Structure 1
Amino acid sequence: MSVGLVWFKRDLRLRDHQPLAQAAQCERAFGLFIIEPAWLQSFECDPRHVDFLLRSLQPLQIELRQRGMPLLVRIGEAVQVLEALRREWNVTHLFSHEETGPAWSYARDISVGRWSRIQHVHWQEWPQTGVIRRLRSRDGWAARWLQRMEAPQVAMPAGFRAPPGMQPDPLPTLADLGLPTPRLQPPAGEADAWERLRAFLGGDGRDYRRALSSPLTAPEACSRLSAHLAFGTLSMRSVHQATELAIEHTPDRELAYGLRGFSSRLRWHCHFMQKLEDQPDLEWRNIARSLDGLRPGDGGPWGALAQERFEAWCEGRTGYPMVDACMRQLCSTGWLNFRMRAMLVSFAAYHLWLHWRAPGLFLARQFLDFEPGIHWSQMQMQSGTTGINTLRIYSPAKQARDHDPLGEYVRRWVPEYGTPAYPAPIVDEKSALAQAKEALYGHRHSPVARQEADAIQDRHGSRKSGLPATTQRRGRKKTADPGQGVLF
């Protein structure tokens, strides 16, 4: 008898779910989510992530049960959990989506692969984004991404046949896991993801391009789908196809204009994830290895001065009001628009001269929509360690003038600004940036850096060709600056 096990990871949905469709072909099938200690103990995990996960699992478990599939939720190391279930229920097939994650999940999947071979469990994985496993060349990647995104979505199975006597597990609570309840609990789950998508495509995305850069207007202008994409409560393909359909049929030119900008960023989402898939060590090593040791904390001692600056940056007390306001909003809500995220990283990397790894771990815990491939690629790009991207140094004063001209945003999040309680600037901007530019620009002109950049561009650089002419006829524009296009 064939017994299929659907291993849910970051794909907490029913729609467009190939593992579910495959499991429906088995004589018996059930689902599983594993709450892994390696995740809970990782430096990237925060209670806000676990809370969003549990509140996404709850409706999924109910929906699956109505279709005859029990969803088990177990706490433990993946191989041990899978082996116990294999023995108890005679599992013959394991179905899951591919995952491009941090080092602990990469090692976990290697262990599961070894286990499945030893135990003769047929493990089959399917892609759920535009990321391509074992990619040999970036040439033609954009066309392959488009082909995958425009393929028919997987139909939702009508029902399943569960092993006799199996019942769904009760979901653990945050208290069961020894975690506090976050102050804010934004809506979670597949139904909310679709509600947000429909609202955005139906009119809320009209001002997307004009309003996405300001922290005052971005919360309403952006789709706010990034957490749903990170946890897989809807698929990238579903978003792409729904967006293209809305662009094609809306009579509202302003809305179509906004949605085209949104559509172009979906490809950049997968473009950055592909980097981590191709080079897993970029999570902790500079992409441009010739920059190793340039900043404190990169293979050497962190130092008291760097620690002081890092703590001030984390706590939103740098003396730069726009920086502090953005950090406080992020820590409070778990979300910040992309331009302000880039400014936070730029400030840490250039003004404070901090290596990107420790700031990256701190930000990973704050971002509800933490997506490893995007996150670490962006941390390196915004810190100037990719060796190929333009150095983006954001002036906090200019960002305030451009995006908070009346000071509304700063007053909301830094009420003590302008009083003796607010600290003086932690560094002098002019001298700090002069030193950073001298170090980085001087390095970029060296022969070793130029040679290294060619190899990096060949491995990770975007390609301007490869999209068929039909995409241009639809009115889509290619995004010239990937640094502004990965948050929705």
Structure 2
Amino acid sequence: MTREITVLWFKRDLRLGDHPALAHAVSLGRPVLPLYIFEPELWEEPDTSGRQLAFLQESLESLGAEIAGTGGALCLRVGDAVEVLSRLAGEAQVAALVSHEETGTLWTFERDLAVGAWARGQGIPWTELRQSGVVRRLDTRDRWAMQRNMFMAAPQVEVPQGLTWAEAPSDPWPPIDKPDHCPERQPGGRPMALSLLGGFLTERGQTYRKAMSSPVEGEWACSRLSPYLALGCISSREVVQATTARQSEKPGQGWAGSLKSFQARLAWREHFMQKLEDMPDLDRRNMHSGYDNLRGTDPERLAAYVAGETGVPFVDACMRYLNATGWLNFRMRSMLMAFASYHLWLDWRQTGLHLARQFTDYEPGIHWAQTQMQSGTTGINTLRIYNPMKQGLDQDPTGAFTRRWVPELAEVPDKHLQAPWRWEEVDRLRYPAPIVDVAEAAREARSKIWAVRRGDGFRDEASRVVEKHASRKDRHFVNDRAPRKRRAAPKKDTGQMSFDL
């Protein structure tokens, strides 16, 4: 390659449609090299898994097919990003580097700092563009919602016509030892994302509002777009605008409420991602320091939790389902995290890593903000200590879900299914006894959390957390007194509990 080129660095934006970085790269007037850097060190991080790697590979194949359809070829290079870019600059006259802004873990944050330093040292301008409602270098949350809504309302960026691609040889796909042990995970790629969006907006989404809390009904009624949004196979703006168009059609019964709830969760999704953008070590540090060193480690409890063998049937059923499918509806995700943090009193950084690996749709911004919120370490959110037996009765009233994923309980009568230790013939079961007393563990956890909240200086730091991270509708969450009435998780689902769509 002797002509000057612009390198378009794909990260978690694996599509051509509504791709501001592609449009900008083309506008510079040079041939564009579409580059994806596979970073082995990233895949050695403890939050990665084989199911995620397989989904990525399929999504890259889909992107490669898209690019090939416009006359180009995706260039895959393997290695450290700075080293890959340095080698590429030695092969071609790289005049500019263009990408989307990425909100990822501290690892990707530090990698981007290194790439930025390299680009400046080489005199290569690196332009990063927004692709979502997340705002880089946000100085105040006061105008965040307005900025997000303006971005979502702006016209989508069309795929440029007459693309002039540059080409460079690719490296072979690396032999990474991360097998995919997820037989029922979703397949990657943009075509599947578009198909799911269409099916949700015309058929499956009608019962979304009432069905999304159930692990049985939610499997069908939820959009299932989360893994495709996480890797950018489809943009959040595409989803928002398609939903808005469907709302304008005023479809029949049930649709209005469901689509309104879906739009709210799309907004909350980016609200949580903004937290990680503003606090890059959110996956490692308590949002409120008052909770530092509060919880410890217990290898036996952690092993039982990971395997779905806690002796609490609905918890185990949800974990086993997640392990097999890579997906779980939002309420059950919240319950799993809360059970680990409150009942098992495990540090969220341990259990959060396991869940991160199990989710095909792992989105760091949502995951770690929600992990902390469901563990009570933000200092600003209402405590939600779920009663897992009640959740089983409410969300799996027939017991079909629990019996499918915990077949050891096949003989247990319905009235004892969610608490088999109360059955007089429990000794017949090849199923463990509960590793904790659920009620007593909840009482102890609530007492410990509220003891921290009553501590000196708690409210001052909580106020700072609110100012930096909270929705402007959420300032009332700062409270230094325990609620008079103790209860399980609220029946009404709020956007703050949304992990998935």
How does the TM-score come out when normalised to structure 1?
0.92
Q: Which amino acid aligns with 1:248?
A: S
Task: Show the counterpart of 2:447.
Answer: 438
Task: Show the counterpart of 1:268.
Answer: 268
Deviations 1:120-158 (A, max 9, x none): 111101111111111111002111110011111111012
Task: Show the counterpart of 1:473.
Answer: none
Mapping for residues 159-308 of structure 1, pairs under 5 Å: 159-163=162-166, 166=167, 169=170, 172=173, 176-182=175-181, 183-296=183-296, 302=297, 306-308=298-300
2:29 is the counterpart of 1:30: no
- 1:349 and 1:355 in contact (8 A); partners too: yes
- 2:331 and 2:498 in contact (8 A); partners too: no
Aligned partners of 1:4 and 1:128: how far apart in 2?
Answer: 19
Aligned partners of 1:316 and 1:282: how far apart in 2?
Answer: 27
Mapping for residues 68-467 of structure 1, pairs under 5 Å: 68-163=71-166, 166=167, 169=170, 172=173, 176-182=175-181, 183-296=183-296, 302=297, 306-417=298-409, 418=412, 419-464=428-473
Task: Show the counterpart of 1:472.
Answer: none
Aligned partners of 1:192 and 1:404: how far apart in 2?
Answer: 29
Q: Helix, strand or coil for the counterpart of 2:94?
A: coil
Aligned partners of 2:307 and 2:180: how far apart in 1?
Answer: 20
Aligned positions, number: 463
- 2:7 and 2:34 in contact (8 A); partners too: yes
Post-superposition offset of 1:65: 2.1
Aligned partners of 1:67 and 1:151: how far apart in 2?
Answer: 25
Q: Which amino acid aligns with 2:494?
A: D
Post-superposition offset of 1:108: 0.5
Structure 1 residues 200 and 219: alpha-carbon distance in aligned structure 2, compared to 1, 3 A threshold: same
- 2:333 and 2:499 in contact (8 A); partners too: no
Aligned partners of 1:2 and 1:135: how far apart in 2?
Answer: 34
Q: Helix, strand or coil for the counterpart of 2:37?
A: strand
Post-superposition offset of 1:447: 3.3
- 1:54 and 1:171 in contact (8 A); partners too: no
Deviations 1:315-344 (A, max 9, x none): 000000000000000011100001001110
Post-superposition offset of 1:170: 6.9
How does the TM-score come out when normalised to structure 2?
0.90
Aligned partners of 2:8 and 2:184: how far apart in 1?
Answer: 31
Q: Helix, strand or coil for the counterpart of 1:3?
A: strand
Aligned partners of 1:267 and 1:356: how far apart in 2?
Answer: 25
Q: Which amino acid aligns with 1:66?
A: G
Aligned partners of 2:72 and 2:235: how far apart in 1?
Answer: 21
Q: Which amino acid aligns with 1:227?
A: P
Aligned partners of 2:22 and 2:162: how far apart in 1?
Answer: 10
Stretches of structure 2 that go unaligned for 5 or more consecutive residues are: 413-427, 475-491
Q: Which amino acid aligns with 1:81?
A: V
Q: Helix, strand or coil for the counterpart of 1:251?
A: coil
Aligned partners of 2:244 and 2:432: how far apart in 1?
Answer: 48
1:39 corresponds, among 37, 42, 47, to 42
Stretches of structure 1 that go unaligned for 5 or more consecutive residues are: 297-301, 466-478
- 1:24 and 1:159 in contact (8 A); partners too: no
Aligned partners of 2:25 and 2:134: how far apart in 1?
Answer: 23
Aligned residues: CA RMSD: 1.6
Q: Which amino acid aligns with 1:136?
A: D
